[in-house]
Amino acid sequence: MTEPLLIVENLTKTFGRGSAQAVAVEDVSFTLDAGGSLGIVGESGSGKTTTARMVIGLERPTGGRISFRGEDRTLPARSARRLRERGRSIQIVFQDPYTSLDRRQRIGDCLAEVVRAHFSLGHDEVKARVRQLAALVGLDDRQLLALPKALSGGQRQRVAIARALAAEPEILILDEAVSALDVSIQAQILNLLSDIREKKGVSYLFISHDLAVIRQITDDTIVMRHGAVVEHGPTSHVLDATKNPYTRLLRDSVPREGWDPTAITARR
C-alpha cells in the first residue's frame, strides 16, 4: 500500500505562556494521499487555519509531526536550497487575493517572478510558462498585462491559483479561497479547481466553513472544534450520515431554499 503524501500526527499549537497560554490546535492527526482532496471544516476559531499554517511552515508546531514524502517538516531545513524545495512542494491560496498580490505589479510579471524563483529557464521559456499558467486558469493576454485593481474578484483568485501552481506544487492549500466570492463565481472557481486536479494530479487541503463547498471539492473531511478533531471520514459520510452533534449543528445551520432569516428573530 502506498504511503500517504502528507502525514500529520498529534499536531499541537499553543500561544502565550503560563496562565495566559491558549491552545489553538490540540492533538490533530490526518493524512492526505497523492491526488487526494481533504477538507478541514469548522466555525471561526476552530483551529483550521492555524493547522494549515503549520502544514505550510508559516507557524511552528508546539508538538507533533508533519511528514511530507517521509521528511519531517517540523525540523528546520538544512540549507537554503532545501527550504526553497519545501516552498515548492506545498503552496497556499489565501482568502483575499487582493491583499496577497502586489498592487504595483502586472499579473504576467507576478507569475514570471515565481517561475524564475523556482526554475532555471530562459526568457522565452518563462514567457511560455506564464502563458500556459494563464490558459490553465482561464486568463488571457490582456489580463496578464493588467494590474490587480483592474481585475474582478474572481479573476484575482484565478491569478492567486496560477501563482501557487507556478511552483508546480504537489499540495495546494486553499484557505477559505472562495468565501469572499459570490455564489456564481464560487462555482466557476470550484469547477476550475476540479479540472486542475484532474489535469495536474495536485492534492488539495481545503479549509472552509462552507459545507456546500466542502461537499463539492473534497473526498475526505475532518471537522474541528476548539482546536481538536471531532470527526474524520469520507465527506459524504461526514455530511450525510454523521452522528456527531457538532457536525449536525454545522450541517443544520446551512441555509436552505425557502429559509427565512426573520424566523430566527421572531423566536427570540
**What is the rounded radius of gyration, in angstroms, for the C-alpha atoms of the chain?**
20
pLDDT band at 98 (very low <50, low <70, confident <90, very high): confident
The pLDDT tens digits for 49-65 are 999 999 999 999 999 99
Question: What's the confidence (pLDDT) of residue 258?
Answer: 43
| DSSP category for residue 211 | H
Q: What is the mean pLDDT of residues 157-186?
A: 90
pLDDT band at 263 (very low <50, low <70, confident <90, very high): very low
Domain ranges of the chain: 6-266
Residue 116's CB is within 10 A of a number of other CB atoms, namely: 14
Which range of 49-53, 73-77, 240-244 scores highest in mean pLDDT? It is: 49-53
| DSSP category for residue 98 | H
Q: Can you give the pTM of this predicted structure?
A: 0.88
Helices vs. strands in the chain: H and E counts, helices first: 12, 10
Contact 234, 247 (CB under 8 A): no
Decide yes or no: CATH 3.40.50.300 for domain 6-266. Answer: yes
Task: Give every strand in the sheet of 63-68, ordered side by side.
Answer: 22-32, 6-15, 63-68, 71-72
Question: What's the confidence (pLDDT) of residue 255?
Answer: 58
Q: Which residue has the higher pLDDT, 59 or 98?
A: 59
**Run of H or E including 247:** helix 245-252
Question: What's the confidence (pLDDT) of residue 1?
Answer: 66
Q: Which residue has the higher pLDDT, 22 or 75?
A: 22
3-state secondary structure of 107: helix
For residue 268, is pLDDT > 50? no
Question: What's the confidence (pLDDT) of residue 265?
Answer: 33
| DSSP category for residue 215 | H
For residue 97, is pLDDT > 90? no
What is the percent of the chain where pLDDT is above 90? 66
The mean predicted confidence, pLDDT, of the chain is: 89
Q: Which residue has the higher pLDDT, 100 or 169?
A: 169
For residue 128, is pLDDT > 90? yes
- Rounded (5°) CA angle 175-216-189: 60
Q: What is the mean pLDDT of residues 120-132?
A: 95
Distance between CA atoms of 163 and 45, rounded to whole angstroms? Answer: 28
Residues 6+ apart with CB under 8 A from 185: 152, 153, 154, 157, 178
Q: Which residue has the higher pLDDT, 192 or 77?
A: 192
